[in-house]
Amino acid sequence: MRIENDTLGKVKIPDDVYYGAQTKRAIDNFPISGLKLPGRFIKAQGIVKLACARANGFLGLINRKACRAIEKAAMEVTKGAHDRHFVVDVYQAGAGTSQNMNVNEVIANRAIEILGGKRGDYTLIHPNDHVNMAQSTNDTIPTSIYISASEAVRDDLMPALKSLKGALSNKSREFDGIVKAGRTHMQDAVPIRLGQEFGGYADAVKKDICRLRSSSESLLYLPIGGNAAGTGINAHPGFKSRVVREIRNITGIKFRSCENLFNGIQNVNPALELSASLRGISISLGKIANDMRLLSSGPRTGFAEIKLPALQPGSSIMPGKINPVMPEMLNMVCFQVMGNDTAIAYATQASQLELNVMMPVIAHNLLFSIEILSNGINAFTGKCVKGIKADEKRCKDYADSTLAMATALNPLIGYASAAKISAEAYRTGKNVKQLVVEKNILKEKEASRVLDPRRLTGK
């Protein structure tokens, strides 16, 4: 063990860890969930500290030797080399002060080691005076949220959604010639093509991609440089612009400074906006997953218009049963994301005066949502959508027998008479075409043209 001091006194720290006194106090104070903020957030914290060190070094505020050691330690953090030393529970001190000090202490002690010193010798590199120079928890934590969320959307979620859209579009083309009965209110409706149905799914995902891209734009405005309350106290006049430039260079993302740093620190609305977009994506995907379950229901007593890939046995008691496990999984993911969004909404509205103190739980839920959505979509696309097969005969039988075929008679005999034909078809078990021919309403050839399911689906 080694002994470290903070403003409250002495703290015993295990020799083999890089964190220090304030992190150890947080470990002892918050044994809440065992959940830690994810590696992507830790990486973003490393990016912030790396950029700040470079900015302060450029401005001549840290000597070159110390600056290089901090930069090297921060770079190691961005690569995940020290993830095991980030130990603070998600449910921690407000705003994420413990989280900020965790990274400050890890980088400081690693930088001290790089300089040949012993961990805890803060005369060489100090967590607050050097690693946290010109910064506060209040601007570094939201900045880390926006960096980590931007990278997660760019690298994981956006590619996953584009892959799903592509797979659904391929199925739309593959199934374009297959006519089936449409259904509204879960009742018979006019004929459509299976390809048109899948085209609707593809377009829904396309629109979700557009909304995601739009909501992600708000993440580009970083409050770094505002320090504790937005005034930039203790920061060099050139710090704000320099550090944002460094973050852009490190991430390749076109971040810029908040137009109003006071608003940027008081509110975490960009996270709320992105989370709302994720909720919308979940609603769209939930509908698609539900449809896959319905369309594949059966195989003998359900719709059975499509067949999903058989991935695993579906019952511990019913032999041979195969369930739609990928749509079921995706539904669960979507429900979790909606719940996360509720937590984020409450946490975001809890901002008071100059600060939102609920940022750790916002970071956790936002990044968790992006992660499970990305992974869930990838699994659903690869193991379900790409392998879907259509039962063309089953679809045709439904198209021929739907009572809503009578809709095509409206221009010829009027709505009321067409309704009588539909009711009689239901009562007798005959299809609409049979009845109009039997009743001499239309000749066989004309009935085949007017009541051709494929023609009724449009182009």
* Structural domains of the chain, with CATH: 2-133 (1.10.275.10), 148-220+266-391 (1.20.200.10), 402-456 (1.10.40.30)
Query: Which residues touch 305 (CB under 8 Å, ≥6 apart)?
Result: 180, 194, 295, 296, 390, 391, 394, 395, 398
| Integer CA distances (angstroms), 33 to 12, 30, 43, 87, 90, in order | 23, 8, 22, 12, 7
What type of residue sits at position 416? A
Q: From the candidates 257, 315, 401, 422, which is the catalytic residue?
A: 315
Q: What angle do CA 23, 27, 32 make, to 5 degrees?
A: 140
| Integer CA distances (angstroms), 120 to 104, 133, 351, in order | 12, 18, 35
pLDDT at 392: 97
pLDDT at 459: 80
> Using DSSP, how many helices (H) and how many strands (E) does the chain show?
18, 8
The residues of the chain scoring below 50 in pLDDT are none
For the stretch 50-69, what's the b/e string if a residue is b when 16 or more beta carbons lie within 10 angstroms of its beta carbon? bbbbbbbbbbebbeeebbbb
Q: Is 315 an active-site residue?
A: yes
Q: Is 351 an active-site residue?
A: no
Q: Write out the DSSP string of 372-413.
A: HHHHHHHHHHHHTGGG-EE-HHHHHHHHHH-GGGGGGGHHHH
pLDDT at 4: 95
Classified as helix, coil or strand, 322 is: strand
Q: From the candidates 185, 236, 296, 374, which is the catalytic residue?
A: 185
* Tokens 């300089």 found at: 115
Query: Which residues touch 172 (CB under 8 Å, ≥6 apart)?
Result: 195, 196, 198, 199, 201, 202
